[in-house]
Structures are given as structure tokens and as C-alpha cells.
Amino acid sequence: MDIASTLTSMAPLDIGLWVTGIMLFAVVIGVRVAFAAAIAGMIGLIWYFATKMPIEKALLVSMKMAGTIPHSKVSTSALSLIPVFILIGFLAYHAGLTRALFEAAKRWVGWLPGGMGVATVFSTAGFAAVSGASVATAAVFARIAIPEMLKLGYDKRFAAGVVAAGGTLASLIPPSAILVIYAIIVEQDVGALLLAGFIPGIVSALIYGGLIIGLAKSVRSFGPPVSGYSWKERFASLPATSPIIFVIAIIIFSVYGGWGTPTEAGALGAFVVMCIAIYRGMRWGNLKEALMEAGKLTVMIFTIIWGVLLYVRFLGFVDLPSAFAEWIAALEQNPMITLLFILLAYAVLGMFMDAIGMLLLTLPVVFPAVIALNGGPDVSAADSAFGLTATGCAIWFGIVVVKMAEFCLITPPIGLNCFVVAGVREDLSVQDVFKGVTPFFIADIITIGVLIAFPGIVVWLPSLVLGN
Amino acid sequence: MAGSSKIRTDESLLSRLDRGFFSLESFLNFIGGVVILAVVLLAVANIIGRKFFNTPVDGYIDWVEQSMGFFAFFGIAYCHRLGGHIRMDIFVGFLKGRALWLFELLATTLMLLLTVPLIYGAYLHFNRAFVNGDSSFDIDLPTWPAKLVVPVMLSVLAVRLILHVWAYARALRTGDEHPVAVPLIEDVATQVRNEAEAAGVSYDKDGKES
């Protein structure tokens, strides 16, 4: 048999495995993730159709099918949320909200042991509430918070670690771009996912805060408190942060009070932040820069979405996800152990790959397997492996896996947030930041353990607000 | 990883074409950003109109859906020119000189080989909408302009990819360590500085934070 007839007589599942291998090879040799997925999808469609029809016809059908995907998959109004939330983040910086937040946090919680560290964590959490991007948060706060901490005699490695870790909070506290993308890929309610991130985000911030206080109490020179602010001065710091509270309130009331869609809520928030930025002196050049950056980041995310969905279209023909799900579900071991192995694989993968790319490439295959592991799409909470319905499991897994992906932002060898902080501060090496971030690394493992052991922390708020 | 990269320039034809084409790409990306802003303003008008005047924007969902192709594709070549599409460079990051240009050439050629049939498929998708007179559900907006965006912007990307193939092939031939017209893999410090600058942190010309 010649090669062509061997290829065209292959079983669909084998084609799926080969094409997935081609995709991974393309990713490794440096093809952009979005295009590697799309190339695999295109090759896969041609190969699959070539087993059913003459090659010329297979080529044409594949091109026609693939040609519809970029437009049809991005023209979904739910996805319009992404650019709007991205724009809020860029405008918030120009509106001076980051510095205002840090100043207020310093006055309100600076008196605690390690107070400036706590203030940094809380202000990054506050900034996260209007920005969906971790790396940008770390870069901005490295400039604002580290000099203040060093002035007060904080250990420079610890100061850098606080900022690198604080930046990761943006991935969970709504609005998180990565959770929106997860929701769309696994076809879950965007509002439910955003809401589900809220408590785990706050828990993460509190665990970070508690850790800093504990460290400051046990090591004398770690970080002195900042005292001397009167109540008047504390309250005086609040008006400058009011836009953030206003934006959060708008988003919560709009989405969960039924005023409008998440996009409309985000748009209202973006509009308010833009007005404030203009009032505070944002010039045309700044606005243009914000629009250029928002445009570029939006295209990057949408390209991955349609690229991966082209691959998913092919996967649908060869049934690879369901075969993988059946295999996972048939493993004779505790489903929780299997889940832990999956999460461990993400931890390793996340050390080498960007969080969004990693999740989008793997979810089409891994997500159905996790649902199967829980007991399938129709399982009741009582009969399931993790004590959750399929929807609950989808939301819970989303939060855990996103926390896992963001945890990789502070782990060696390529924890990007650590590189960002070291890059902004000339006096810090990457090793310094990795050393400083180690306690947070342990705190994150505890947080992930808590989220896995108590899924109720994740699903309680969405089920309370949105019902079951 | 994602990130902007600096691109070397000189007075060669390739570099001049690169810079000229980048002006067009920048303008298109800016249009994409303006469309995002337009969606923001439209959504605000919709909420205010609906809440306070009981008159939402007519066909709001249709307008949003038709606008999405614009901000999802207008900056695709701009983003690629700056090395903004994410990738894993843990392997190619180890390579240097001709070995690196060989893999960059291979990766870029693969992307070009995908883009060309995709342009044709996306054109057929547009053509069906144009010939059949497809329109949106609510206010009957024609859908072909948004569908036309995809093949046109992918064609712009294809031109960018051809320029990159040319640049990498030239680098492979000459063995140049720092070729013009392509995003170079930077050391971590430079890459991060670009990330930080994108987030608003600026530096003076000596590299000190200002």
C-alpha cells in the first residue's frame, strides 16, 4: 500500500491523534499558538474528508468549512465583553486609579504588621476589579508599591514577591478576561463564571494578607507598620478611589440586577473610567495609545479563539474528546486522584506556556474528560464523583484551573510576573523575586487545595445569585 | 510568550517595504480600537435609552455582532508584525543564527500555507452572503461587509507573512545575527521592559525608569 492510501484508510481516532501531535510539534517549533491550532484543524479536516471522498473534493470542502469559522465563531455578542474589559484596564491606568488605590490602602491597612505589603495586595485586588490582566497589574504596582516599601526598610526580595503574587489576583476577581474565555470555550454562562471567581479571589487576597502579617510578626525586620494617619486623612483618600467602587457597583448591579448584559455593564464601566481619565488630563495621545493596545490585545485573544475552534471543529469529526473522556472515566482509580494528575499536568505545562494559550489548546479535550470523571453531563450532585452537578463541576473546574494557570505566573522557570517585576526594577534580579515570592507560592498551593477540597466556596455565590 | 518586540530597520528595500506596510497595519489596528470604543458608546446609549427613555438603540445586538469582525481582525497583521501573537519560544529561544532563522522560516511558511486557503474559504463565505443577500435577524443589516473583513484582513496578514518569509530567508542566506523587518527574540530584560512600557511604565534613553 502506498502512503496516500495508508493515510486515507486510517481510523478517525488515529487521525485525531496524529493531527494533535502535529499541532504540538508546530507549537514547539515556534508557530504562534493560534495558527498552530488552526493549521492542525485545517490539516485534520482535509485528512478526514480525504478518507470519505476524492482529495480534490476533500480540499474544497475543508476550505469552505474552515473559511466560515473565523467569522462565525467571533461574531457572537457574548464575546464582545472581552475588548470592553480590556479597554477598561488601559483606561484605568490613564485615569490614575492605581496610585489612588494604593494610597487609600496604605492609609487604611498600613498600620498592620507588614502593612505596606497588605496594602499592596489589597490595592492589586482592587485594580483587578477593573482590569483583567495579571501581567499589567504586576508591572504597574512594581513601579508604585516597591519604592514605598523599600523606603520603609522592607526586605527588597519580599517587596518584589508581594507585587508579583498580587498581580495574579486579576485572573479570578471579576472581570477576568481568562474566565470569560473559559466560559465561552466550555459553553457555560459567563456571568456565573465571573461571579464564581469572586470569593476565591477574595480568599486568595486574604490568604496573601494573612501570610504577610504572619511573616512580619515572626521576622522583626520584615516590614514595619505605617502609622500616624488620622481618620480624616483616611476618609480623604477615598474619593479618588470612588470610580473603582462605582465601576464594580455598576457591573454587579447591571449583570445580576438585570439592568443589562455583561457587555453593557462593562461598557458603562469603561465609559465612566474614560470620562474620569479625560477629566484628570488624559490627552488624545493617551487615548490613542489605549485604543491601539486594546485593539492589539483583542486581536491576539480572538485569533486564538477562532484558531482553536477550527481545531475543535475537526475534533468533533474524529471523536477524540469523547474517546479521551471514556478512557479517563474508565480508569480504575479514585476520580479525585485523576483530577489531581490533570491539574499537575497543567502546573507543568503552565511553566512553559502562556495561561490563555495553554487553556484554550487543552480544554477541548480535557474539559469533556473532567465532566465524564464527575459522572457525565446529566449527573446529579448526589451521584457525582465531586459532589457537583455537571454545571457546578464546569464552574468549579474553571476556577481551579485558572488559579492553577495563574499560579504558574510566579513559578520558575518562566513565571512571567516575576520577570516583569525584575524587569521594572533595575536593582532586583529574577532570582531575588523568585525567592521573595516563595511564601506566596506555598500560599497558592494551600488556596488550590482549599478550592479542591471545598467546591462550595466556588459554586455557592453563583448558585445563590443565579439559582441552580 | 506574548509581547511586543523591537524591529531593526535599515535602508534596504525589504526594510522600507516593512515600514511602509507597518503604517497601513497601524492604521487598521487603530480602526479596530476605534470600533471597540464605538461598541462601548453604543452600549452606553442602549442602556440609557432603555432605562430612562424606554427607547433602546434599534438593532443593538445586530450592530454589536456586525462590528465584531472589525475589532477581531483589523489588527491581525499589526499584532503579528510586533510579535504579539502568543507562542512558546522555549525551544527556539535556545537557537541562534542560521538554525534559528531556519525554524522561524519554517514556522512562518506554515502560517502562510494556512492563511492562503483560509482567505479563499473566507471569501466564499462572504460571497455566499453577498449573492444570497443575507441579513441580520433584527434590523436586516447586510452581513456581507463584516464577512468581507475576514478575507481582506487575512490577505493583509498574508502580505506581512510574505515579508517575514523574505526576511528570514535573507537572514538564513547571509547568516545575519540581527536581521531587519522581523520581530527578534529578545532577552528577558528587554522583553519585560516592553511589557512594562505597554502597561504604562516608561524609561529614559539610558534604560532607567523615569
- pLDDT tops 80 at residue B4: no
H helices, E strands: number in chain A? 22, 0
Task: Measure the CA–CA gap between A162 and A438, rounded to whole angstroms.
Answer: 10
At A110-127, the pLDDT tens digits run: 888 888 889 989 888 888
A197 contacts: CB under 8 Å, gap ≥ 6: A171, A172, A173, A174, A176, A179, A399, A402
Beta bridge partners of B206: none
Inspect the interface and report whether the beta carbons of B71 and A83 lie closer than 8 Å.
yes
List alpha helices for A380-429, DSSP H.
Answer: 390-407, 416-424
- Residue B183 backbone dihedrals phi, psi, to 5 degrees: -70, 130
Say if B176 is an interface residue toward chain A (CB within 8 Å).
Answer: no
Strand partners, B203: B209
- HSE toward the beta carbon, residue B142, CA cutoff 13 A: 11
How far is Cα A139 from Cα A142, in angstroms, rounded to an integer? 5
Summarize the confidence of residues A304-308 as an average pLDDT: 89
d(CA A217, CA A228): 20
Section B168-196 average pLDDT: 73
What is the C-alpha separation between A127 and A93, in angstroms, rounded? 9
* pLDDT > 70? residue B202: no
CB contact under 8 A, A420 and B195: yes
The residue among A332, A322, A327 whose CA lies nearest residue A367 is A322
Closest by alpha carbon to A164, among A447, A412, A450? A412
Cα gap B88→A137, rounded to integer Å: 22
The reply to whether omega before A175 is within 30° of 0 (cis) is: yes
Is residue B206 pLDDT above 50, yes or no? Answer: no
- Interface predicted TM-score (ipTM) of this complex, two decimals: 0.88
Mean pLDDT calculated for residue range A343-350? 84
Query: Which member of A28, A143, A419 has the closest CB to residue B192?
Result: A419
Contact A38 B118 (CB under 8 A): yes
pLDDT at A301: 84
Portion of chain A with pLDDT greater than 70, in percent:
96
β-pair partners for B8? B180
Q: Do A306 and B191 touch (CB under 8 A)?
A: no
pLDDT tens column, A136-147: 677 778 778 888
pLDDT at B81 over 50: yes
Q: How far is residue A464's CA from residue B2's CA, in Å, rounded to a whole number? A: 37
φ, ψ for residue A303 (rounded to 5)? -65, -40
| Alpha-carbon gap, residue A243 to A258, rounded angstroms | 21
Give the pLDDT confidence of A275-286 residue by residue, as tens digits.
988 888 888 888
All three cell numbers of B100, joined, read: 534559528
B73 with A70: Cβ contact below 8 A? yes
Does the CB of B92 have a partner CB in chain A at under 8 Å? yes
- B210 pLDDT exceeds 60? no
Are the C-beta atoms of residues B146 and B73 closer than 8 Å to each other? Answer: no
Q: pLDDT averaged over chain A?
A: 85
What is the phi/psi pair of residue A435, to 5°?
A: -65, -45
A30 and B34 within 8 Å at the Cβ level: the answer is no
Q: Which residue of A28, A79, A136 is in closest CB contact with B91?
A: A28
What grid cell was written down for A149?
Answer: 516599601
Q: For chain B, give the mean pLDDT.
A: 85
Q: Is residue A26 scored above 70 in pLDDT?
A: yes
Chain B residues in contact with A259 by the CB 8 A cut-off are 47, 51
The pTM for the full model equals 0.84
The band of B182, judged by pLDDT with boundaries at 50, 70 and 90, is confident
Find the CB nearest A30 among B78, B89, B209: B89
Handedness of CA B106, B111, B117, B120 (dihedral sign): negative
Phi-psi region of B207 (alpha: psi -120 to 50; beta: other; left: phi over 0): left
CA separation for the pair A359, A184 (Å, rounded): 12
Distances, alpha carbon B107 to alpha carbons A25, A36, A56, in Å: 11, 9, 26
Lowest mean pLDDT, pick from A78-87, A395-404, A409-418, B146-155: A409-418
Check residue A76 and give its pLDDT.
82
pLDDT tens-place string over residues B16-69: 999 999 999 999 999 999 999 999 999 999 989 988 898 899 999 999 999 999
**Does the pLDDT of residue A468 top 80, yes or no?**
no
pLDDT bucket at A346, cuts 50 / 70 / 90:
confident
pLDDT at position B189 over 80 = no
Termini Cα distance of chain A? 56
- Max avg pLDDT among A91-105, A156-170, A293-307, B31-45: B31-45
Q: Which residues pair with B123 in a beta bridge?
A: none
- Cell triple for residue A176? 477576568
The alpha carbon of residue B169 is apart from the nearest alpha carbon of chain A, in Å, by: 16
Q: Please check the confidence at residue A52 and state whether its pLDDT lies above 50.
A: yes
At A251, the pLDDT band (50, 70, 90 cuts) reads: confident
- The set of residues, in sequence order, having a beta carbon less than 8 Å from that of A292 and lying 6+ positions away, is B26, B29, B30, B33
SS3 B143: coil
More reliable by pLDDT, B153 or A386: B153
pLDDT at residue B204, rounded to an integer: 40
Residue A187's CB: how many other CB atoms inside 10 A? 8
